């Protein structure tokens, strides 16, 4: 069988893998030599695309959730039924017309006793829907910028111009849109691309190391009067799954509030992954935010969608311009069915326990066994990172291939890189974040396969 014409494991007639060289590549390397012909739960059906093994079909356990988005794994009957029913029955009215389906979802989330009402009561917050995490974060930034602007008179609120700094964090990633560019922190995320100049109505960004409370305090002492907003991922994702120490997020929120800045939590990645729905939580309960953006898992692996939850006094100027995708009834139906299922099955709570087991396994069976490849494992709930050594970071392509051939799929984050204040460089990091449906047995198998994949890399010729 030729390398580029592979039968789809008996499911479809033989056809070429046309997506291979037509779709953009994000890694700047040879595409991985595998195809996926289907999936169910966390089991994915792969085939080898190249070499003497081309055409070999094998199963891979998914420890990634498709960039952290498929919380119910593949082929959820609950979602399939909800989606089919919604296509038939709920219509597609836009946000100009009340929708029974939208109304049901929002009441279940934000109404009295609602799932999110302990932190986002409808009396205090409003919500908007977008297609992706990036678009949600872009809207959050827009709300921040409009907060110093008089929407009726179309001019700055007197005295508000001085607040022009948006504080972000070293290693930050928030998405793809142009407005977000200044907030991203790795050089390779933004160099050569335009940024917003701090002229009238522009903004500046500054970045401090995540998790360093002294750095935050000193920064607010120096800049407190000029800060417009703080934008934070409560667990930094692309920076290498950096989990802050206990107390950090609450103190950061207090610093923002005391200085009069808005606090934006980017929970696109963390939503329903940290053993809780929201990572902006500690033992005292919800940590208050002005704007929270959730995404990825929110779409239940079936849709790409996000929600921006913002204090009622924040908004955008009414121009008649609309967002086509804002809380479409079908999207609402999928979110509602998925969340109802997650709550009924206790999947978020269970993920806290299974995740703690996963964390132990990663430390004991992966990092401790392969010190040449890994520096440390860290994480919370079902969101874990295993940081690579320089040696492994230089061989990511081979490591990925070894993992997949040993039956486990994981993703790799770029890591925070160089950080200030003498903090050590954070290397590329393997993200181990299986869907919420993963069981205790599954995480055992994932750990065994990660160890096997690691061993395979060490046995490859240098
Ligand atoms: C923290 C964070 N914010 C925003 C985004 C962007 O989300 P999307 O890829 O859905 O646009 C991501 C995606 O990786 C993310 O991890």
Asked whether 30 and 430 are in contact (CB, 8 A), the reply is no
**Residue 57 φ then ψ, to 5°:** -95, 140
Question: Six-digit token pair at 193?
Answer: 């691309």
Whole-angstrom distance, CA of residue 106 vs CA of residue 85: 19
Pick the atom of ligand 1 nearest to 270's CA.
1
52 lies in some domain: no
Q: How far apart are the first and last CA of the chain?
A: 30
Site to probe by mutation for ligand 1, drawn from 134, 171, 300, 302 as the one with most ligand atoms within 8 Å of Cβ, is 134
Query: How many C-beta neighbours within 10 Å does residue 245 have?
Result: 10
The answer to whether residue 14 sits within a structural domain is: no
Domain presence at residue 267: yes
* Atom from ligand 1 closest to the CA of residue 132: 10
The helix-helix angle for 347-361 and 329-345 (nearest 10°) equals 70
CA–centroid distance, 196 to ligand 1, in Å, is 20
Q: What is the mean pLDDT of the chain?
A: 94
| Residues ≥6 apart with Cβ < 8 Å to 422 | none
Average pLDDT over residues 390-415: 97
What residue spans of 234-328 are helical by DSSP H?
A: 248-259
**255 and 227 in a common domain:** yes
| Mutation probe of ligand 1 site: the residue of 140, 237, 331 with most atoms within 8 A of C-beta | 237
Using the mean position of ligand 1's atoms as its centre, give its distance from the Cα of residue 296 in Å.
7
pLDDT, tens digit (0-9, with 9 covering 90-100), for 26-62? 777 888 999 999 999 999 999 999 899 999 999 999 9
Q: Is the pLDDT of residue 7 over 50?
A: no
pLDDT value at position 3?
39
Residue 110 domain flag: yes
User: Domain range for residue 274?
Assistant: 77-345
Phi, psi values for residue 222, rounded to 5°: -80, -35
What CATH number is associated with residue 418? 3.90.1150.10
User: Which of these three, 285, 313, 345, is where a domain ends?
Assistant: 345
Rounded Cα gap, residues 42 and 214, in angstroms = 42
Condensed to tens digits (0 to 9), the pLDDT of residues 405-438 reads 999 999 999 999 999 999 999 999 999 999 999 9
Domains in the chain: how many in total?
Answer: 2
Q: Average of pLDDT values for 322-330? A: 92
Residue 15 is predicted with a pLDDT of: 60
In this structure, what CATH number is given to the domain that contains residue 81? 3.40.640.10
Per-residue pLDDT tens digits for 161-215: 889 999 999 999 999 998 899 999 998 898 888 887 777 788 999 999 999 999 9
382 and 326 in a common domain: no
The arithmetic mean of pLDDT across residues 338-360, rounded, is: 98
89 belongs to a structural domain:
yes
Q: How confident is the model at residue 19 (pLDDT cuts 50, 70, 90)?
A: confident
Q: Atom 10 in ligand 1: which residue has the minimum CA distance? A: 133
Q: What is the pLDDT of residue 399?
A: 97
Q: Hey, which of 131, 140, 175 would you mutate to test ligand 1's pocket, going by the most ligand atoms within 8 Å of its Cβ? A: 175
Please compute the mean of the pLDDT values over residues 64-78 and round it to a whole number.
98
pTM: 0.95
How far is the centre of ligand 1, averaged over its atoms, from the C-alpha of 267 (Å)?
Answer: 9
Residue nearest to atom 13 of ligand 1 (CA): 175
Q: How far is the CA of 270 from the centre of ligand 1 (A)?
A: 10
Distance in Å, CA 266 to ligand 1 centroid: 8
DSSP 17: -
Model pLDDT for residues 276-289, shown as the tens digit of each residue: 999 999 999 999 99
Residue 40 lies in a domain: no
Whether 389 and 404 share a structural domain: yes
Residues with CB under 6 A from ligand 1: 67, 132-134, 137, 173-176, 233, 237-238, 266, 268-269, 295, 304
pLDDT at 356 over 80: yes
The residue that leads in pLDDT, 84 or 50, is 84
For residue 3, is it within any domain?
Answer: no
Residue 420 belongs to a domain: yes
Pocket residue to mutate for ligand 1, from 138, 293, 296, most atoms within 8 A of Cβ: 296
């Amino acid at each position: 069988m030729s390398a580029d014409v592979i039968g789809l494991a008996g499911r479809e007639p033989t056809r070429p893998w046309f997506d291979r060289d037509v779709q953009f590549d994000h890694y700047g390397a040879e595409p991985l030599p595998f195809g996926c012909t289907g999936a169910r739960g966390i089991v994915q059906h792969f085939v080898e695309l190249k070499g003497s093994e081309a055409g070999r079909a094998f199963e891979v356990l998914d420890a990634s959730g498709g960039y952290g988005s498929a919380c119910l794994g593949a082929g959820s009957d609950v979602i399939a039924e909800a989606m089919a029913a919604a296509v038939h029955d709920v219509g597609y009215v836009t946000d100009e017309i009340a929708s029974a389906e939208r109304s049901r979802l929002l009441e279940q989330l934000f109404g009295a006793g609602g799932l999110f009402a302990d932190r986002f009561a409808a009396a205090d917050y409003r919500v908007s829907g977008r297609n992706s995490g990036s678009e949600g974060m872009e809207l959050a930034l827009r709300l921040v910028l409009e907060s110093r602007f008089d929407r009726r008179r179309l001019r700055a609120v007197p005295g508000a111009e001085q607040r022009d700094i948006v504080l972000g964090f070293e290693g930050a990633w928030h998405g793809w849109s142009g407005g977000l560019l200044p907030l991203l922190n790795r050089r390779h995320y933004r160099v050569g691309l335009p940024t917003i100049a701090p002229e009238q109505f522009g903004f500046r960004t500054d970045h401090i190391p995540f998790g360093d409370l002294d750095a935050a305090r000193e920064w607010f002492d120096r800049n407190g009067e000029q800060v417009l907003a703080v934008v934070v991922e409560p667990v930094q994702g692309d920076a290498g799954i950096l989990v802050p120490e206990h107390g950090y997020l609450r103190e950061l929120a207090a610093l923002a509030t005391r200085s009069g800045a808005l606090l934006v939590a980017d929970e696109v990645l963390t939503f329903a992954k940290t053993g809780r729905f929201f990572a902006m939580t500690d033992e005292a309960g919800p940590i208050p935010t002005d704007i929270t953006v959730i995404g990825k898992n929110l779409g239940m692996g079936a849709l790409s969608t996000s929600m921006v939850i913002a204090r009622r006094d924040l908004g955008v100027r009414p121009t008649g311009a609309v967002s086509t995708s804002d809380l479409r009834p079908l999207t609402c139906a999928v979110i509602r069915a998925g969340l109802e299922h997650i709550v009924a099955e206790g999947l978020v709570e269970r993920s806290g326990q299974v995740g703690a087991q996963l964390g132990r396994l990663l430390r004991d069976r992966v990092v401790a066994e392969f010190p040449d490849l890994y520096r440390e494992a860290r994480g919370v709930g079902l969101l874990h990172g295993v940081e690579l050594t320089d040696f492994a970071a230089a061989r990511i392509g081979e490591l990925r291939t070894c993992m997949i051939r040993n039956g486990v799929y994981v993703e790799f984050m770029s890591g925070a890189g160089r950080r200030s204040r003498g903090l050590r460089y954070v290397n590329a990091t393997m993200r181990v974040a299986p869907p919420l449906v993963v069981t205790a047995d599954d995480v055992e198998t994932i750990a065994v396969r990660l160890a096997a994949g690691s061993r395979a890399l060490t046995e490859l010729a240098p």
